[in-house]
Structure 1
Amino acid sequence: MSIEKLITPYFWNTFSKKMKQKVENPKFAGFFLAKEAERTGMRLATGTDGSLQEGNMVTLYWLVDEADGVIADCKFQVYGPTYLIIAAETICEMVIRKNYDQASRISADLVDRQVRDNSKRPAFTEEGAYYLNMVMSAVDFACHQCHGIPFKRDYADTPIDFLEENQQTIPDFENLAKEVKLQIIEEIISKEIRPYIEMDAGGVTIHDLKGSELHISYEGACTSCHAATGSTLSAIQNILKTRVHPSITVIPTI
């Protein structure tokens, strides 16, 4: 990255509303010491990318339960552009009370989607993506320090909660050909649903669309998770009702 880009100001109006909220009210700024981890019986896992000499640095601090690999608490320290604060704050929100295996499955795109005001417009600019990737690298380093800690594979929750306000459905959807309907639904599932389910080592496949009934099946961890017929199913259905058409009902194959 050129020095011109590094010193270019990041104007406030380039941030989404959700990004601004994280800058104005960060909840996870700070750090943990080794003695705090010892006192709570946790493992302190840290991940750092960048350096003070470079002018950009982020460090993540996780208190990880050595019994099940769950990240009980997390904090971050940042030196550099505001984008680092936004990315680190968002990551902390996403990993807390998840285990480190789930944290390792988080992608930069998934983080970006958490702070978008518009589902089709990336929140991080090209310059901002550079700093987001720094935070993702710090996540990898922190996860590496958790190796050897056992973790549960039957995840109980998938964080599909991204629904923007005033979302419009597909015009005249009910009159489209079945093949076109399936293409639209597949695209939305691929972009808006699968990344979250894959974070929990699961998967979802479309089998058929019969009228307004969408028949799907789960894969991986989802096949043994009670949320597959509860909160996850409800979230998938709500997204499709909001994105595609309010008549859609999702029928999972058990």
Structure 2
Amino acid sequence: MSKDTLLGGSLWEAYSKKVQQRMDNPTHLGVITQEEADSRGLKLIVADYGAEACGDAVRLYWLIDSNDIIIDAKFKSFGCGTAIASSDMMVELCLGKKVQDAVKITNLDVEFALRDDPDSPAVPGQKMHCSVMAYDVIKKAAAMYLGKNPEDFEDEIIVCECARVSLGTIKEVIKLNDLKTVEEITNYTKAGAFCKSCIKPGGHEEREYYLVDILRDTRLEMEAESVRENAAKLSLGELGFADMTTVQKVKAIDKVIDENIRPMLIMDGGNMEIIDIKETNDSHIDVYIRYLGACNGCASGYSGTLFAIEAILQEKLAENIRVLPI
């Protein structure tokens, strides 16, 4: 039975030709023995890594010289064809590099190297975990050679294993770009673009952090920080009218009215109060007022007095203020 029959023509086409070729004819598949290492005067490192999500496993062999350079490398893979192709490319990317540089190879480097062209993914999104497995076995081998823990090479919490995107990066991008949807996070970082398990609970692999929760919590942090900043600016008299909350705007308008308008109205036996403030779709701020005392029913309240109130508020606070008596 052909691969097209097993996978279905359209699904098979989701794999690059490079992946298909390395599935069937991996270049670096094999074993390196201690006897070979001794005969060549090189240090042998053998690292194993298994992916619990799919049951795949890979064994990586490195031969390293006295300058920490990976002179030769082989692999054995137990799993699907994508795991074989990813492991084969991973080994190729390691060859000739110092161990300290090889550990910088990411799963995205492996996937990108397997593409037929830069804009077309090498594998379906649900198979990105195979290149992650290749990345993790590199860390395991480097840790063994350098006498470290694999976690020493990971200084941040990884949320999206497929794209190797950290929690810190996601939160920073949300804040810097004022992102409001998970789709925007994916567009900016590629997190959630592949197997999608990190987007929300219920995917094929349980995660500690999900994009929906990170977005919600980060937006709450942003709002809380904005409130704190606005409160500090308000206390110093530095907060712009447009940045104020509705309550703060009412207080600011009342302050201007108390200082510039209300004394004039009281002299004529009248007064006024603010009923409501609304921001309109055409970027105006409508201030609804009610006249009191002698001002109530006065014709000037809808002409000269109204224009004076509006002009003072526009001058003192914002040019887009409109005053509407009710």
Distance in structure 2 (CA, Å) of the matches to 1:118 and 1:44: 35
Distance in structure 1 (CA, Å) of the matches to 2:7 and 2:42: 40
Distance in structure 1 (CA, Å) of the matches to 2:82 and 2:120: 17
Distance in structure 2 (CA, Å) of the matches to 1:124 and 1:139: 20
**Matched residue of 2:132: which SS?**
helix
Corresponding residue for residue 69 of structure 2:
70
Corresponding residue for residue 40 of structure 1:
40
Deviation at 1:40, TM superposition (A): 1.4
Corresponding residue for residue 98 of structure 1:
97
Corresponding residue for residue 112 of structure 2:
113
TM-score if structure 1 supplies the norm length? Answer: 0.51
Amino acid at match of 1:106: I
Corresponding residue for residue 236 of structure 1:
none
Q: Does 1:31 align with 2:20?
A: no
Is the deviation greater in 8-17 or in 98-107? 8-17
**Matched residue of 2:61: which SS?**
strand
Deviation at 1:31, TM superposition (A): 1.0
Deviation at 1:55, TM superposition (A): 3.7
CA contact (8 A) 1:23 1:86 kept: yes
C-alpha distance after superposition, 1:17-76 (max 9, x if no partner): 111222232111011122221221111112211179x741111101111x1111111100
**Matched residue of 1:26: which SS?**
coil
CA contact (8 A) 2:16 2:121 kept: no
Amino acid at match of 1:28: H
Distance in structure 1 (CA, Å) of the matches to 2:23 and 2:117: 19
* 1:125-164 equivalence runs, <5 A: 125-147=124-146
Shift in alpha-carbon separation, 1:108–1:55, aligned structure 2, 3 A: closer
**Higher normalized helix content (fraction of residues):** 2
CA contact (8 A) 1:61 1:76 kept: yes
Corresponding residue for residue 19 of structure 1:
19
Number of residue pairs aligned between Structure 1 and Structure 2: 141
Larger RCO (CA within 8 A; separation ≥ 6): 1
C-alpha distance after superposition, 1:134-188 (max 9, x if no partner): 111111011112217xxxxxxxxxxxxxxxxxxxxxxxxxxxxxxxxxxxxxxxx
CA contact (8 A) 1:46 1:141 kept: no
Distance in structure 1 (CA, Å) of the matches to 2:132 and 2:88: 14
Corresponding residue for residue 307 of structure 2:
none
Distance in structure 2 (CA, Å) of the matches to 1:137 and 1:85: 15
Q: Which segments of 5 or more consecutive residues in structure 2 lack a partner in the other structure?
A: 1-5, 148-326
Deviation at 1:12, TM superposition (A): 3.2
Distance in structure 2 (CA, Å) of the matches to 1:77 and 1:9: 24
Structure 1 segments of 4 or more deviating over 3 A?
8-12
* 1:145-224 equivalence runs, <5 A: 145-147=144-146
Distance in structure 2 (CA, Å) of the matches to 1:136 and 1:95: 11
Distance in structure 2 (CA, Å) of the matches to 1:124 and 1:101: 28
Amino acid at match of 1:47: A
TM-score if structure 2 supplies the norm length? Answer: 0.40
CA contact (8 A) 1:47 1:140 kept: no
Larger CA Rg, structure 1 vs 2: 2
CA contact (8 A) 1:117 1:123 kept: yes
Deviation at 1:105, TM superposition (A): 0.7
Amino acid at match of 1:111: V
Corresponding residue for residue 196 of structure 1:
none
Corresponding residue for residue 206 of structure 1:
none
CA contact (8 A) 2:32 2:61 kept: yes
CA contact (8 A) 2:16 2:115 kept: yes
CA contact (8 A) 2:51 2:133 kept: no
Distance in structure 1 (CA, Å) of the matches to 2:112 and 2:136: 18
